[in-house]
Amino acid sequence: AQKVTQAQTEISVVEKEDVTLDCVYETRDTTYYLFWYKQPPSGELVFLIRRNSFDEQNEISGRYSWNFQKSTSSFNFTITASQVVDSAVYFCALTLDQTGANNLFFGTGTRLTVIP
Partner 1 sequence: GAGVSQTPSNKVTEKGKYVELRCDPISGHTALYWYRQSLGQGPEFLIYFQGTGAADDSGLPNDRFFAVRPEGSVSTLKIQRTERGDSAVYLCASSLGLTSGVGETQYFGPGTRLLVL
Q: Which residue ranges make up the site for partner 1 (CB under 8 A)?
A: 4, 33, 35, 37, 42-47, 50, 52, 91, 93, 95, 97-109
How far, CA to CA in Å, does 48 sit from each of 14, 29, 53, 116? 22, 23, 17, 23
Give the β-pairing of 105-106 and 32-39: unpaired
Query: Measured from the CB of residue 65, what is the shortest distance to partner 1 in angstroms?
Result: 19
The nearer residue to partner 1, 58 or 98, going by C-beta atoms, is: 98
Query: Measured from the CB of residue 63, what is the shortest distance to partner 1 in angstroms?
Result: 21
